[in-house]
């Protein structure tokens, strides 16, 4: 699985670090490490009741590698914390974004475009340029010709010329299968995206042409935004910058 490769690639670095702070908000989870680096990931809790988080004891002070390994578990909150820990390492030196995802994938009027998860601002721009936009959601608030349940991706994604996948797919472990279904150009987008350039160079993942995530420049402010339930736009206004790798 890709998540195992992510952890293994930085295991030696993680082994030297401890966790300084963890914030679990309604929208995002934030992890600050002992070297001052900070990573984000979507807070993914698919449980339908108010279960407490089962990781006993405080998280601050624990080995960073211990938390990172949560990404390889079935627990949604541990997975979110794990990806945020991994992203703290990957995003620290990531270059700032110089091109928009829609431009990199060269979306035009002949393209059928797939989007895993509804990112409204981006969806609006894509719909204006593409022949057709198909949005796949786990629990769509409504279904229409272009808003479909996530299981419809099984037969719709292979016909898409370009696909935008949110970094949340690393948390719920759907990333491997989604990439298997894709035959066109792919960009991974959003603050959860691991900015690991090897994802672009791996022959088996040759369809990924861009990774679009964030680099945290003010960990304290970002943790405050996360704790107060802030979303992507709030993070980009207060302590996070767009960062990207493009092939």
Query: Class of 101-213 per CATH?
Result: alpha beta
| Structure confidence at residue 54 (pLDDT) | 66
Backbone angles phi, psi at 165, to 5 degrees: -120, 130
Alpha-carbon distance of 144 to 137, in angstroms, equals 12
Looking at residue 11, what DSSP letter applies? H
Looking at 105-210, list the stretches that DSSP marks H as alpha helix, in order from N- to C-terminal side.
120-129, 153-156, 168-171, 175-181, 198-201
| Structure confidence at residue 44 (pLDDT) | 87
Helices then strands, each counted (H, E), the chain: 12, 10
What topology is assigned to 2-94+215-241 in CATH?
A: Enolase-like; domain 1 (3.30.390)
Give the domain ranges of the chain: 2-94+215-241, 101-213
Nearest to 92 by CA among 178, 185, 10: 10
| Structure confidence at residue 120 (pLDDT) | 84
Q: Output the DSSP codes for 20-42.
A: EEEEE-SSEEEEEETTS-EEEEE
| Structure confidence at residue 35 (pLDDT) | 98
Looking at 10-114, list the stretches that DSSP marks H as alpha helix, in order from N- to C-terminal side.
11-14, 64-68, 76-91, 101-104
Alpha-carbon distance of 67 to 65, in angstroms, equals 5
How would you write the pLDDT of the chain (247 residues) with one tens digit per residue? 999 999 999 999 999 999 999 999 999 999 999 999 999 999 986 655 555 566 667 999 999 999 999 999 999 999 999 999 999 999 998 999 999 999 999 999 999 999 998 888 899 999 999 999 999 998 776 666 789 999 999 999 999 999 999 999 999 999 999 999 999 999 999 999 999 999 997 766 778 999 999 999 999 999 999 999 999 999 999 999 999 999 8
pTM of the model: 0.94
């Amino acid at each position: 699985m890709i998540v195992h490769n992510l952890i293994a690639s930085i295991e030696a670095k993680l082994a030297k670090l401890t966790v300084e702070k963890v914030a679990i908000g309604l929208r995002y989870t934030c992890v600050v490490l002992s070297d001052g680096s900070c990573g984000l990931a979507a807070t993914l809790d698919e449980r339908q009741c108010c279960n407490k988080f089962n990781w006993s004891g405080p998280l601050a002070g624990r080995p960073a590698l211990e938390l990172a390994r949560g990404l390889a578990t079935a627990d949604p909150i541990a997975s979110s914390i794990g990806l945020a820990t991994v992203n703290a390492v990957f995003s620290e030196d990531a270059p700032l974004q110089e091109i928009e995802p829609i431009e990199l994938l060269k979306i035009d009027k002949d393209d059928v475009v797939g989007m895993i998860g509804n990112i409204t601002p981006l969806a609006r721009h894509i719909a204006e340029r593409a022949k057709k936009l198909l949005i796949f959601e786990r629990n769509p608030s409504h279904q229409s010709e272009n808003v479909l349940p996530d299981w419809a991706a099984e037969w719709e994604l292979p016909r898409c010329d370009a696909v935008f996948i949110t970094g949340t797919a690393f948390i719920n472990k759907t990333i491997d299968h989604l990439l298997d279904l894709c035959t066109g150009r792919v960009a991974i987008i959003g603050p959860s995206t691991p900015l690991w350039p090897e994802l672009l160079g791996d022959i088996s993942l040759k369809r990924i042409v861009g990774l679009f995530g964030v680099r945290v420049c003010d960990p304290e402010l970002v943790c405050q935004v996360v704790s107060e339930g802030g979303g992507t736009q709030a993070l980009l206004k207060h302590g996070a910058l767009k960062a990207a790798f493009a092939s």
